[in-house]
Structure formats: C-alpha cells, structure tokens
Structure 1
C-alpha cells in the first residue's frame, strides 16, 4: 500500500528550497577547492546533501553547470554610463578582467569553454555590439572586434592567474600592461571602422 504524500512533503533526494543560485554557488566552491577536474554533478550534490538527480531541475548537465558558473562571474559588470564608444568597450573589458581575477580557479573552465555563453555574457555582448554599431562597425566586423577583445581579456586573466612561482610579473604591472594593450587594440578597432 502506497503512503499518500502531503502537500509540501519531499520525495527522497529532494531538498526543500534548493535554488539554482545555491547549485551554482556550490559548484563554484567545488571548483575553488578541487579545480576544474573535481567539478562533477555528484560532487555538487554531495556538498548540498542531495541526490544528483535533484540538480537536474536546475541544470541539464555538467556543461550547463559550468556555463552557469562562468556566467555568474560576469553578473556584477554594469553597463557603462557613457555614450563614448571607446569608454564603453574599455570599461566592460576592464571590469571583465577584474571579475576574472577574482576567480582564478575558473580560468581553466573559461579557456576550455572559450568564454561564457550565459545571459550575462549575452547582455555584455549586446552592449558592445550596440556601441560598435554607433560608429559603423556591424556584422562580421563587430563579431570579430568583440571576439578579439574577449580573447585578449581572457588571455590576460589566464596569464595573471598563473602560479605565483611561475609568474614573476607583479599584478599591478600586468594590469597596467592590460590597460595599455587594450588602448592600442581599441585604437586599431575604431580606426578601422567603416
């Protein structure tokens, strides 16, 4: 005879109030503690004290989980409060670098996934595309300009996130180098506009 479940009663493996934000935060913790190779659905479920299948109502698989974790790092990046195209692009890339440097443990995942694909990444991409369009850079030229800026920024973050013993360049010097290189890139992109 099957026992009737009361409204609000949980099934085995469920956890009351488990949210997507908790799943992503816990995945981030697993990455911070064990690196990219340690991140599995089972490891996240164990930290949350739920069965792995409880995670699937929030993320479809490990790939989506990684994409969500990567995208969450971009959540704090705001739309620049200026119409100056160079300033918009510079501020977004500088804030992206800062966000990436706060999570050096995520660099292998950013490199493996070639960036983020979530809603925050798309929002920033749309802001960049709109800025480029204001100066006549559209279509494949705009896509290429954005890609170059993103690859530059992720590359710098990966270089800066390297092990301290293998990275003799101080962080403040690297950040200065990043700003100088970004200025050169933007000058070239904007000078070549249609």
Structure 2
C-alpha cells in the first residue's frame, strides 16, 4: 500500500501536534507556523500537510487536544449538575493552561471532535430538561462563552479577582444561566 508524503517522513498526526504544542509553548501564537513546526520535526513544511491543512487547522487541533482532559457528562447524569460540572471542569482546565485562553477566545471555542462530543453530551442533558435542539445550541454557546470569559478574567495579568474568587462567581452565575435556560419560553 502506498504511503502519503507525511508518512514517508515518518510523521504521525500525534507527532505534529506534539511539536506544535512545543513551538506554541516556546514562541506563542505569533511564532507558531507550519515552517516552525516542520523545523522542530526536522522535515520540510510540505510533509505536515498530510496531517494538518494549515495553521488554522493546527490551532484547532491544539485547542481540541486540550479538551482530552475533560470527560463529557454521562447521559444519565442529573442534567443541571452534569452541565455545571463540565463547565467548571473547563474553567479549571483553562486555568491550568492560561496561554491557551486567548486562542479559545480568538477561535470562539474549539471545533474538533472532542469539542463536538462535549457539545453533544451537553445537548443530551439539555434535551432531558426539555430544551429543544435550536435552543440547546444557543444554551451551549452561552455556557461556553460565559466560562471562557471567566477564564479570561482569571488568567489576565492584571486581574482584580483571583481565580478561586472568580470560580466561586462562575458557580453562581452558571446556576443562573442554567435556570434561565430551563425556565425561558422556547422560540
């Protein structure tokens, strides 16, 4: 069976992602490029394109890779508790990787398979609360934006409130959002 150009270079998607993670950690988003990742791997830049389409796809893969640390809420979880816990776990994850927060904000979240799985699990819980598909998409988006906003505040260099105080605020405001989502008239 013929191999693709990236396979001939001995690359795997995991190796490309690991090198991208290292380049990003060392140089930030401005220094993350296909050329820099290829140099870190000791290959020509075109060898990467068998594994990732472009820099945007590489950033999306980095973001989605971070979500591997999160477990989707089980479908039989108490819905409000499951939704709340996945958002708090997301906040905690972002707090451990503050350099990634600006990327999540810039990309408006993550788009990869792990992000889709988390969104699907959240939608199942929302359906159990009587929230239909159209409204569920808006609720999931609101929860993500809300949580990203709190993570951005917590990881800011000049934050007035410390991450534990912000997390406590997030716990309260997530409850407000979730109650509102369940009680709001559907349109």
- TM beyond 0.5: yes
Matched, 1:162 2:156: yes
* Higher alpha-carbon Rg: 1
CA distance in 2: counterparts of 1:126 and 1:193, whole angstroms: 22
Structure 1 or 2: more helix by fraction: 2
Query: Is the 2:73–2:121 Cα contact (8 Å) retained in structure 1?
Result: no
User: Which runs of 5 or more residues in structure 2 are unaligned?
Assistant: none
Q: 2:113, 2:30 → 1: CA distance?
A: 25
Note if 1:58 corresponds to 2:51: yes
Equivalent in the alignment of 2:73: 80
Alpha-carbon separation, structure 2, partners of 1:26 and 1:98: 24
1:190 to 166, 182, 185: 182
The alpha-carbon deviation at position 23 of structure 1 amounts to 1.1
Q: CA RMSD in A?
A: 2.2
Unmatched 5+ stretches in structure 1: 1-6
- Displacement of 1:95 in angstroms is 1.2
Shift of 1:14: 5.1
Contact 1:93 1:149 in 2 (8 A): yes
1:22 matches 2:15: yes
* 2: CA distance, partners of 1:154 / 1:171: 13
How far off is 1:15 after superposition?
3.3
Cα deviation, 1:46-74, whole Å, max 9, x if unaligned, reads: 11111111111110111111110000111
Distance 1:27 1:132, change over 3 A: same
Residue by residue, what CA displacement relative to the aligned partner does 1:53-108 show, whole Å, maximum 9, x if unpaired?
A: 11111101111111100001111211334431101101111111122222211122
- Select the residue among 92, 109, 123 that pairs with 2:103: 109
Q: How far is 1:179 from its partner?
A: 1.2
C-alpha distance in 2 between matches for 1:160 and 1:29: 24
Task: Indicate whether 1:71 and 2:67 are aligned.
Answer: no
Hey, what's the Cα distance between the residues in 2 that align with 1:44 and 1:146? 33
CA distance in 2, matches of 1:21, 1:104: 22
How many residue pairs get aligned? The number is 183
Offset of residue 193 of structure 1: 6.0
1:137-156 matched pairs, under 5 angstroms: 137-156=131-150
What is the SS of the residue equivalent to 2:130? coil
TM-score, normalized by length of structure 2? 0.89
Q: Distance in 2 between matches of 1:108 and 1:83?
A: 31
The alignment's TM-score, normalised by the length of structure 1, stands at 0.86
Counterpart for residue 98 of structure 1: 92
